[in-house]
Structure 1
Amino acid sequence: MRANSVLAKAIRFALIGGATTAALSTSVAIAAEDGAKVERIEVTGSRIKRTDLEGSSPVTTIDASQIEKTGELSITDVLRRSNLNSFGSFSERSGSSAQSQATINLRGAGSDRTLVLLNGKRMPGSPTLGGTAVNLNTIPTAAIERVEVLTDGASAVYGSDAVAGVVNIILKQGYEGLEVSATATQPTQDGGEEWKAHIVGGTVGEKGNVTFSFEHLNREIIYQRDRWFSSSTNVLAPKFDDTTGVSIYARNFLDMTTGGFQPLTACNNPKMVGGGHIYDAGSGDYVCGYDYTSEAADHAARSYTAGYVNGEYELSDEITFKGQGLFARNETFGRYAPAAGWFNVAPGQVDVQNYDAAGNMTGVNKNQNAGRVYYRFTDVGTRDANTIDYSTDIQLGLVGSHDSFGWDVTYHYNLAENSNYGTGYVHRPTVEKYVKDGIFNFGPEGNSASVIADMAHQTLKQDIMEFQSLNAGVNFEAIELPAGNIGWYVGAEALQYKYEANVDAQTAAGDVIGSSGNGSSGDRDVYAVFAESIIPVTEDLELNLAYRYDKYSDFGSATTPKVALRYQVIDGVVFRASWGQGFRAPSLSDLLAADAFSADTATDYHYCDVQGTPVAECKAKQYDVTRKANKELDPETSDFYNLGLVWDITDNLSTKVEYYNLKIDDVITFVSLDSLLKEEQKVGYGNLSRGEIVRAGNTADGKLLAATTPKANGNGFETSGIDFNITYSGFETAIGEFGTSYDLTYVLNYDEEEYFDGPVNDKIGRNGMPQIRFTWAIDWTYGEHSASIISQYIDSQAERTDPKTYQQIGHLTSQTTFDLSYAYNTSWNGKIGLGIRNLTNEDPVLNSDLEYDSSLYNLYGRTYTMTYTQKF
């Protein structure tokens, strides 16, 4: 066999595989004496245990010490920083039923195309997200040993959802001792303060071990008024479009015949902007406004408590029992401004103010036509949302071995019960009845307490996902080749999903102002068989084959193959390549969800053109949209291939380059309102192939009033890029030892349709799609002292895209942030940690409307951290 010792392999893995992280990189030495027996381990992306950890598929590892250096208190925030999370991912947002949720989105392909594993076993998607993506906020950070991120497709190994990659969160096992830790953070701007405490302990005996952890985290709310860019601006401007943070859902009337807006006399109210300031809204429309940023929050408050226990016991020399339990409670509080919505009025029911072409008020009269009142129910109070998510995850298994033969059986149970309780909402039929009967008071004095009580409505939304799986497999070596034996793993899985979404009856009926949603339920059974082999073709060339067949009870079946190879070019240089097919099954909510109301943001370029508004001044607005599921959806399919080169240049210097290409067909998507509008420009009003647009007067040039957007299988998209890493460690000086690591992702292309079944263009560089993200870390140690500085970069982007030429317009600047951390190990086995996140206090990158992409950027600003940890 080539002179490539276990020690060399272990060091190469530590430097390149294990220490190459998108959040922080530090050098780790894994030593083993030549000739010593090295335990085989399972690495994400393969079920076959092996000693060579640098395999045929790229795996990035983030361990507990690296998580600590970021200064982040949750694994969600650690992964969000990763350059592999190319276009950002969903984060906690105040006021909605999903305010407790956070996800990971590898390659910008969508969080529902990134499979999340817990100790190598599939985690079901969050019921709040329709079962399509895993809520990372259910994972206890203190219990994490490491996170392995596989950045090529793995459906042949793990099944559905592993299209863009796999995130395997590996929790502590076999821990011995006791650790107590507390952390507090203090942002320099208002809101967002955090504190966290945890205990980790364990004991190891002759035949088994037990590990446990308990942690609690608390994070304060951030209101929109707490940041200059999210609070309102220029509120007394003559023109509505010159303001930010102001809504026309105030006291305005929409004439359903003409499509024109007029202010109500009820605009003369102290809670409206300026006590009744009237804006020129363009196209002959005049409105009053409400400053929603004075009440609403951007980031929800969060309180998280979790317990974890893991144990194993040797039943015999060849059989081991393994079990673990994870129990989490995640509570959040968010706030929206008072309920805003419309209700119908008949002719002559409300007083409206009339204006001439010069903007002068010409008088007051009753509405002549039927219409809608766009109203802000300030008397009812703010809309407050409390979510309480309970998560239970239990895994029980048996693992056996005899010589080169092994087997395993695991039962996995997961129950997620997510509840959202809302106050401050309004019952539309009651309002309409009181308006019709003349009881509703539009005046400054408002409505009586009894009328307010009758209008007020409390919402309830409960989402439940129950998941069970039983999987079993055998691993063995068979068929001897000159370079060694072929390794095999053959297994089978049975999975069951039960999904239920419930809302209160009035919300389901669409009768609640300021709320939306509907109930649904369903279940599915999945059966799968799979096989994998590692073939030592020569001493230098290794071939990895995998194949899987999945049968779904509700839509059909899927077969997914994968082929990968690893070639040792010379000592220290490894070439690897992989190709695989993948699939993503439509979720139960994709197939079965009832119609749901949504307020979607879109840009109506056609209406702007009709009104003579230039493209650069045509702004996105919210419109009423009904979203529909589709029972006829097909699964998505994908092809993924990866080419990589790993080079140990010296004992201290290593680098790797990986090229990836991902192509997805039959993409499951809502046909967005923006997409419908673009198709309408091509085919004309009323001729859409899917969905519906409704305009005032039912005419092509009327104002957009509402739309229906269905789920559908689109044509798909293709993306490719390069991951690059270079790591240097062990640079010794008189003032300490230094190391550095640089990780970069460069997206070469992101080819996607401009609208459903429309032209395909490369969208990279557009708003929310940066071409480059990198992380550069420098580490220092000196005796009991250590420190790190981490620089993170997000590339610049275009602000908007021309709707006709698709040329990128405007410029959003790049962002570079710096994080500092320092730690001192005391003589009494304690550790003191200090840190500064976002040293230069960078704001999110803002567009011309002072809006930012919350998936890419956060609003915490400079934040000081302090941690004390004591080990016993």
Structure 2
Amino acid sequence: MLNTKVTKAVRLALAFGAASTAVIAQSATAQEGAEKVERIEITGSRIKRVDMEGASPVEVISTAEFEGQGRVSVAEALQSVTSNSFGSVIPSSGNSGQSQSTVSLLGAGAGRTLVLIDGKRMGSSPSLNGGGANLSSIPMAAVERIEILKDGASAIYGSDAIAGVINVILKKDFEGVSFDIQVGRPEAEGADTKQMSMAFGVSSDKGNITFVYDHQQRNPIFDRDRSYTAASMEDKNKDGLISIYDETVGISYSGATIKGPNGMLASPKCDELTKNVDGFVGVLDQGSALGGVGGGQVCGYAFANVSANMASTKRDSAMASITYELTDDLELFGRAMFSRNDSFGRYAPAAANWNNMAADNEHNPTGEVTKGYFRWYQLGNRDGEVTDYQQDYTLGLKGAFGDTAEWEVSYHKAKLDYREAGRFYLSRAGLSHNTLNNIALDSEQGIANMRATTYAENQSELDHLFAGIGFEFGELEGGAIAHYVGGEYFDMTLDSRYDAQNEAGLIGGNAGSSGGGERDVTAVFYEVAFPILDNLTLSAAYRYDDYSDFGGEGNPSVKLDYRPVDDLLLRASYSEGFRAPSLKQLNASDSIGYPRATDYVLCAQQGKSASDCTEASYEELRQGNKELGPEESSYINLGVVYSGFEDVSIKVDYFELEVEEVIDLITVQDLVDAQTAGAYDALIADRPEVKLVRNADGSIEKGYTQYDNGAFMSRKGFDVDVSYKLETAFGDFKFRNVTTILTEVGQDIFFAGPTSDAKNAPEQPAFRSQFTVNYAVDNYTINWTTDVIDSTYETEIKQPTGNGQHIVEYSGTLPTYVTHNLNMKYYSDGYGTFTLGARNLFDKGVVYDSKDKYVDYSIYNTGHIGREIFAGYNISF
């Protein structure tokens, strides 16, 4: 990469240094007595300014606009913005994020997008390892607008503000009473929605009290209710065999399958189970992905007959805020927000290994002690029930003195308590007890011995003290020099605790580990804006954060905005940023998981090409790492804003983001890829806890993985925002198009390995675009929203070239994905507002690959829900 981070910093420092020289040269001719105008604070700077548009691009979207697009919640609204490039976490049944929703600007990861509420850091979700914010807890009815900063901002806000900042601004001066209700029903089964909210506000000449209650609910979608996720199998190549991975959907080899000396073996009782137990589908071909020599067989189980694909969510939130003017120059402000989020997911009976299966076991045809891959159907289906509690409080004072000085002190506390219970998992201790005492596994006593209920408590707390003062000191030709100086103190704790049996590794069909810790952070920051000329402003900021667990980190930013004419703004910025390792990544206990990977090494051993190699699940022991350090980033933005045409606004910004020392998990796939490239020994050389263990036949037995610093990430591209207003005799129109284009998606092929451009790789579209049309006439409005997701390649194949290198080859195409939302409103005279609309108006379906298999990417989740008709009513007094 020709332009390194240091080179860019030097080049920009020289350019901005020349501009600062002009500050000194022209300060003697400063203007005096300039007329005071109202100034506002916009995300990305603590210095208030006159214009909405400044040196950093900020997209401002009101709640009314999101509602006009037909979005159900704050989470769904933010997940639809174009800068959420590759999609993000949505409520999915069967994983640790079942109740979670996140946003990931530029596809850089939820932990690299800082989420604020009224400018204060939102508490990190303990279910996401303390490395991201759960948007599901924010009541949409309490939101006034959302500001999306598309720039690095660690110099202002500290850690995590690498790819941008989401600032959710809540209502503070609502007056009156408002009641809103809406219901939605997809044409396909599942995912029904219900919403209800109430808002009350009272104002006086001294202040305001606002109260909001919000209820949102969406039902689950079960795999059996969609043809492409329902369990099925077909001999597609007509060879008389059905391969477990190539020719089935929703079927697992963990039914009654035995590890043999040269591959898998179906239990001798597989046919009997298929006849007598729902879910078993008989003997299938093991397929190449599971290893073995000369083929093998498995006993399959159709888990998709009972499992939920999308989890249910039910959110209840309340917010109360107060502002009160104690004196003419002193204001008290406070806010309390409470939320409860309940989620339900269902999974098939536990799939868990039967280790050390006796040689004379009725399922074991090998005659030797071995391992079995079993579905513990006797225990019943697993139900996962998650309850998230969140409390968020802010109390502070704002004041002013002199002609220009404004100050603020505040205390902010966030407490998150997420609890998860799992029913009918396998107790390995109970299985051993049954085996030793010859208790039949399907007897009433045997089932009671083996049933286990899992329980996890994930808690985090944030205590935050803030103090800052903004003032003007010094004059330049363009006006007064604005300063802001302040400090923050954070105390953060994370406590993630699993039940003792789970922690001991005695639960089958579940994964998770305890972990946590505590840190405190002390930060000081300074920001200054030099109005060099009336139309030229140079801004700079610096922030230093001192972390109790890994040391200090300082980050600068420099910004320039220039208006050669009133209708044209040119802007540029350079900033450095960092992201601290999460407390869970640092302190996690070991946990067992079963991630999917493609074993190119085994395929090569079997004489199979990389393109014919398929994915399978492998056992993984995931470990924490107390030696993690921070990620470091740089962000460059160059932009132009033009409004010289009547009722037209054009914004174009070019960005470059680079992140070094990226904290990432060294996965099973990374270890396989390193082996194929001849870089395995170098990768594990200084990482004694990381390794890949293989069986005698070359198949993977187990992977030992860990988080570490050392990966790389880059994003380059453009943000384009064009809007146009048109007034006619038959109504008013507003057109807007927002597009985020990625010209480079740099990332490691494997951890700390060579870097490639993954633009348009699977799940990584090069652009997302949103086009909205708003039409208003008399008492009616019609809102039409079109969301466009660029086409991507279908498959990614890594080909080793030797000397630790790879090339990545892409093939196939998944089509451009276009969906439409329609929202119509009628504003009656005194009887409220009526809404009727359709999400996914033309019932755009899911995406299939070249093998006619459903592509399960979150960016296509609209098609999974299907067309949804909704109706609502609002009345305000």
Asked if residue 519 in structure 1 is aligned to residue 514 in structure 2, the reply is yes
**SS of 2:670's equivalent?**
helix
1:108 and 1:406 mapped to 2: Cα distance? 37
1:755-774 to 2 correspondence within 5 Å? 755-774=750-769
Q: CA deviation at 1:574?
A: 0.4
Contact 1:157–1:547, Cα closer than 8 Å, also in 2: yes
In structure 2, what is the equivalent of residue 339 of structure 1?
350
* CA distance in 1: counterparts of 2:229 and 2:357, whole angstroms: 37
Counterpart Cα distance in 1 of 2:714 and 2:280: 50
Match of 1:646 among 617, 638, 641: 641
Match of 1:702 among 695, 698, 704: 698
User: Is structure 2 residue 242 aligned with structure 1 residue 242?
Assistant: no
Structure 1 residue 812, shift from structure 2 partner: 1.2
Shift of 1:718: 1.3
Q: Measured at CA, do residues 436 and 703 of structure 1 come closer, stay the same or move farther in structure 2, by a change above 3 Å?
A: farther
Q: Distance in 2 between matches of 1:687 and 1:577?
A: 41
**Partner SS, residue 132 of structure 1:** coil
Q: Displacement of 1:799 after TM fit?
A: 1.5
Distance 1:707 1:272, change over 3 A: farther
Contact between 2:82 and 2:738, CA under 8 Å: does it hold in 1?
A: yes
> Matched residues in 1 for 2:55 and 2:287: separation?
60
Aligned residues of 2:434 and 2:449 also touching (Cα < 8 A):
no
Answering whether residue 300 of structure 2 is matched by residue 289 of structure 1, we say yes
User: What amino acid sits opposite 1:454 in the alignment?
Assistant: N
Q: Which residue of 2 aligns with 1:722?
A: 718
For residues 274-326 of structure 1, the C-alpha deviation after alignment (integer angstroms, 9 at most, x for no partner) is 65344353542111101111010011111110110011111111110000000
SS in 1 for 2:430: helix
Per the TM alignment, residue 685 of structure 1 is displaced from its structure 2 partner at its CA by 7.3
1:279 aligns with 2:281: no
Q: Say whether residues 1:209 and 2:208 are aligned partners.
A: yes
Between the aligned partners of 1:588 and 1:95, the Cα distance in structure 2 is: 24
Describe the superposition over 1:77-96 as per-residue Cα deviations: whole angstroms up to 9, x where unpaired. 01111110001111111133
Change (3 A) 1:405 1:275: closer
Q: 1:814 aligns with which of 807, 813, 816?
A: 816
Q: Which residue of 1 aligns with 2:612?
A: 617
| Residue aligning to 1:162 | 161
Aligned length: 816
Deviation at 1:717, TM superposition (A): 1.5
With over 3 angstroms needed to count, the CA separation of the structure-2 counterparts of 1:656 and 1:824, relative to structure 1, is: same
For 2:681 and 2:578, locate their aligned partners in 1 and report how far apart those are by CA, in whole Å: 34
* Distance in 2 (alpha carbons) for counterparts of 1:64 and 1:795: 26
Please give the secondary structure, in 1, of the residue aligned with 2:798. Answer: coil
What is the rounded CA distance, in whole Å, between the counterparts of 1:278 and 1:160 in structure 2? 50
Deviations 1:701-739 (A, max 9, x none): 51112101111102311110001121110x233431212
Q: Which residue of 1 aligns with 2:538?
A: 543
What is the distance in 1 between the residues matched to 2:35 and 2:868? 47
- Counterpart among 362, 378, 381 of residue 351 in structure 1: 362
When structure 1 is superposed on structure 2, of 828-837 and 561-570 the one drifting more is 828-837
Cα distance in 1, alignment partners of residues 60 and 466 from structure 2: 26
Question: Cα deviation per residue 1:572-599 (whole Å; 9 max; x = unaligned)?
Answer: 0000000000000111111111111111
Q: Is the 2:430–2:450 contact (alpha carbons within 8 Å) kept by the matching residues of 1? A: yes
Amino acid at match of 2:631: E
User: Any residues of structure 2 matched to 1:788-827 within 5 Å, and which?
Assistant: 788-804=783-799, 805-827=807-829
Name structure 2 gaps, 5 residues minimum.
Answer: 1-33, 236-240, 289-293, 800-806
Residue 469 of structure 1, CA deviation: 0.6
Q: Is the 8 A contact 1:341 1:514 kept in 2?
A: yes
Q: Is the 8 A contact 2:268 2:365 kept in 1?
A: no
Q: What is aligned with 1:101?
A: 100
SS in 1 for 2:333: strand
Structure 2 counterparts to residues 824-843 of structure 1, below 5 A? 824-828=826-830, 830-843=832-845
- Counterparts of 1:273 and 1:554 in 2: how far apart (Å)? 50
Residues 424-439 of structure 1 aligned to structure 2 (within 5 Å): 424-439=424-439
Amino acid aligned to 2:344 = F
Q: Which stretch has the larger CA shift, 61-70 or 111-120? A: 61-70
Distance 1:482 1:651 in 2: 31
Q: Which amino acid aligns with 2:488?
A: E
What residue identity is the alignment partner of 1:289? G
Check the 8 A contact 1:95/1:383 in 2, yes or no.
no
Distance in 1 separating the partners of 2:450 and 2:65: 52
- CA offsets 1:373-393 (integer angstroms, 9 cap, x no match): 111111211110111110000
Aligned-partner residue type, residue 710 of structure 2: G
Shift of 1:746: 0.9
Partner of 1:81: 80
Q: 1:645 and 1:263, CA in 2 relative to 1: closer, same or farther beyond 3 A? A: same
Q: 2-side partners of 1:593 and 1:677: how far apart?
A: 24
Residue 261 (str. 1) matches residue 260 (str. 2):
no
Q: Give the conservation status (yes or no) of the 8 Å contact 2:308–2:345.
A: yes
| Counterpart residue number, 1:28 | none
Q: Aligned to 2:808, what secondary structure does the other structure show?
A: coil
Question: Following TM superposition, by how much is the alpha carbon of 1:569 offset from its aligned partner in structure 2, in angstroms?
Answer: 1.9
* Superposed displacement of residue 793, structure 1: 0.6
CA displacement 1:662-695 (0-9 Å, x = unmatched): 0000000101211111001123777751421111
How has the CA–CA distance of structure 1 residues 855 and 694 changed in structure 2, closer, same or farther, with 3 Å as cutoff? farther
- Indicate conservation of the 8 Å contact 1:188/1:863, yes or no: yes
Aligned partners of 1:430, 1:176: CA distance in 2, in Å? 61
Structure 1 unaligned runs (5+)? Answer: 1-34, 353-364, 442-446
Residue of structure 1 equivalent to 2:744: 749
Q: Tell me what 1:192 maps to.
A: 191
Q: CA deviation at 1:568?
A: 0.1
Query: Distance between the aligned counterparts of 2:513 and 2:711, measured in 1?
Result: 28
Matched, 1:149 2:148: yes
| SS of match in other structure, 1:157 | helix
Equivalent residue for 1:871, pick from 868, 873, 876: 876
Q: Distance in 2 between matches of 1:798 and 1:160?
A: 34
Q: Cα gap change, 1:812/1:299 in structure 2, threshold over 3 Å: closer, same or farther?
A: same
1:326 is matched with 337
The CA deviation string for residues 386-434 of structure 1, in whole angstroms up to 9 with x for no partner, is 1111000000000001221111001000100000011010111321342
Aligned mates of 1:869, 1:207 — CA distance in 2 = 29
Alignment check: 8 A CA contact 1:736 1:780 kept = yes
1:20 corresponds in structure 2 to none
Q: Contact 1:344–1:373 at 8 Å: present in 2 too? A: yes
Q: Structure 1 residues 429 and 349 mapped into 2: Cα distance closer, same or farther (>3 Å)?
A: farther
8 Å CA contact 1:229, 1:851 repeated in 2 = no
Change (3 A) 1:687 1:475: closer
User: Taking structure 2 as the reference length, what is the TM-score of the superposition?
Assistant: 0.91
Measure the CA separation in 1 of the matches of 2:309 and 2:605: 35
How far apart in 2 are the matches of 1:411 and 1:391? 17
- State the secondary structure of the residue aligned to 1:79: helix
- Pick from 585, 588, 593 the counterpart of residue 593 of structure 1: 588
Distance 1:532 1:610 in 2: 60
Q: Is the 8 A contact 1:686 1:692 kept in 2?
A: no
Q: Name the structure 2 match of 1:133.
A: 132
SS of residue in 2 equivalent to 1:839: coil
Give SS of 1:589's match: helix
**1:309 corresponding residue in structure 2:** 320
Q: Aligned residue for 1:572?
A: 567
The 1:159/1:603 distance shift into structure 2, 3 A limit, reads: same
Q: Is the 8 A contact 1:259 1:702 kept in 2?
A: no
The equivalent of 2:170 in structure 1 is 171
Task: Give the counterpart letter for 2:816 in structure 1.
Answer: S
- The sequence identity of aligned pairs, in percent, is 35
What is the identity, as a one-letter code, of the residue corresponding to 1:771? Answer: A
Q: How far apart, in 2, do the equivalents of 1:238 and 1:466 lie? A: 51
C-alpha displacement at 1:851, in angstroms?
3.0
CA RMSD of the aligned region, Å?
Answer: 1.7
Contact 1:723 1:744 in 2 (8 A): yes
**Aligned equivalents of 2:228, 2:855: Cα separation in 1:** 7
- What SS does the corresponding residue of 2:152 show, helix, strand or coil? coil
